[in-house]
Structure 1
């Protein structure tokens, strides 16, 4: 059975959000042992090695020169700065506060995409993002504990959201000149180079870390980074940055579900309600008007009497 490009892109986006949601569970284990920069570097090295091996097997080669600007910017901002800032920020604030601040990212992607890439902003997309953001706020408020948050942590999470949005918008043009695998592989390599100052910390912490924490770091590199960033790039190449950003609002709902199943953290009613809102908003933002409905609306508009001009 041959799947349409739109179905393949939707499947790739689904793989991305599921693996990114699973990353939050793994970060809880690895982040308790590894410092923010060392964890980011270890994750990126594992991802770069995995992607590099796949590129060699597939003989992908180097990306065209025209793609390098977007690859470099996304590598510095998204693969490098974002991961360090988010790891650090989540050590300074509780999970709910981090979720609240970081989920500004998709809104920033929509604004930057409309301004810099000319992305359309249909009413369904805006409505869906509003519903999902309300759901993310609900999840965040329900998970926020008393205290445990700092201004530094909030600023770091906000900077992570800005870096995420800037990286996505920079990556989009590069995908029209290079393959998803090339863009992801070399973006990951750029991010690893940015994080090399943390190499000493990584070597020291690997020598003393328990095996489960190190395995979680490797998992983060192979699956939520190498695989999920590639499926993200594949889907992003076939839709707008705004629509892909809206899709990531499914992540908070999946994190709640995975934490329930894997960690035994039973969510409250408010958390569950927020998760349902997140998923509902994603469904609305990715829905399209039926062709029949569009033709009917167009026909009704054409049939409407036009007002006479007054001389």
Structure 2
């Protein structure tokens, strides 16, 4: 990173961008819900990725960044594009037809739990202490509280949709662990990295157009604006703001945006879409967040010696 790219960690502008990322990503579930009034899930994801790639591509041109030449790196980034963008975006878009936007934002907060599981158990790039394993278990309890099986299970809509959202966050967790194992030392700048992920994902969706994006659409101002915001802001500009925060604060502190997005998502769902919120959803979300704090080792047990490494 050059001196001109550095941002003072205490800069108020960094804090503003951090908050903006939380607001935009928290609003993404509202944008999806509104956009689905006019387009299919496949069309929504198609537009989101193409608009995001175009936005990041313009910034790439302005900054005169160059793409890497290593074929192996392109292969790894294609895997990430599929598991970090295409698959989870499609799963969330499909699920949003059957659940509230606020509930979608709460489930999105399980991503760090999934990342801890994938990093420790699948890719073996981290060793989890007992306290971190307790955090994963607590996160699972939080999900059970959100699903609320004691209220009866809707096996036709709600439960499959909630399982699809968990599958989406599992994709995110897989991607984060995969990034750490295979591309963490690639030397690619965060902007180029984001552009390639979104750009490759957009290319995949363009190839899948005959299968996923040829249904009739209903043109209306509200859904069109929501899709534009989801693509250009949520999948474009917000990535740039997030990169600034990561560079200034580091990845651990910057990742706390995960705690902001559910609050924004639930609030917007209630205020704008008049969605109802059951007591178990925010309570389960808080349990998930506590599990995240433990899984990320931000809450340490008093006796560290009790925590044994899980190989």
Fold shared per TM-score above 0.5: yes
Residue of structure 1 aligned with 2:168, choices 148, 157, 160: 160
Residue of structure 2 aligned with 1:258, choices 261, 268, 273: 268
| Counterpart Cα distance in 2 of 1:90 and 1:226 | 21
| Counterpart Cα distance in 1 of 2:222 and 2:197 | 27
Correspondence list, 1:148-227, <5 A: 148-149=156-157, 153=161, 156-172=164-180, 173-177=182-186, 178-196=188-206, 197-198=208-209, 202=213, 205=216, 208-227=218-237
1:249·1:278 contact (CA, 8 Å) conserved in 2?
no
| Counterpart Cα distance in 1 of 2:49 and 2:115 | 23
1:118 aligned to 2:125?
Answer: yes
Between stretches 171-180 and 185-194, larger displacement belongs to 171-180
Residue of structure 2 equivalent to 1:308? none
**How many angstroms does 1:137 deviate by?**
3.8
Residue of structure 2 aligned with 1:141, choices 142, 148, 162: 148
Residue of structure 2 equivalent to 1:287? 298
Query: In the comparison of the two structures, how many residue pairs are matched?
Result: 287
| Counterpart Cα distance in 2 of 1:250 and 1:126 | 24
1:57–1:117 CA distance, 2 compared to 1 (3 A)? farther
Correspondence list, 1:1-311, <5 A: 2-3=8-9, 16-65=21-70, 67-91=73-97, 105-114=111-120, 115-116=122-123, 118-123=125-130, 125-141=132-148, 147=154, 148-149=156-157, 153=161, 156-172=164-180, 173-177=182-186, 178-196=188-206, 197-198=208-209, 202=213, 205=216, 208-230=218-240, 235=246, 238-239=250-251, 248=258, 251-265=261-275, 267-283=277-293, 285=296, 287=298
Which SS does the other structure have where 1:248 is aligned? Answer: helix
Task: Say which structure is richer in helix.
Answer: 1
Larger RCO: Structure 1 or Structure 2 (Cα < 8 Å, ≥ 6 residues apart)? 2
Q: Which runs of 5+ in 2 are unaligned?
A: 1-6, 306-311
Q: Which runs of 5+ in 1 are unaligned?
A: 299-311
**How many angstroms does 1:169 deviate by?**
2.3
| Counterpart Cα distance in 1 of 2:22 and 2:132 | 18
| Counterpart Cα distance in 2 of 1:108 and 1:190 | 24
| Counterpart Cα distance in 1 of 2:44 and 2:197 | 17
Residue of structure 1 equivalent to 2:308? none
1:110–1:162 CA distance, 2 compared to 1 (3 A)? same
1:288–1:108 CA distance, 2 compared to 1 (3 A)? closer
Which SS does the other structure have where 1:195 is aligned? Answer: helix
1:200–1:209 CA distance, 2 compared to 1 (3 A)? farther
TM-score (norm 1): 0.71
Q: Choose 1 or 2 for highest CA Rg.
A: 1
Structure 1 vs Structure 2 CA RMSD: 4.2
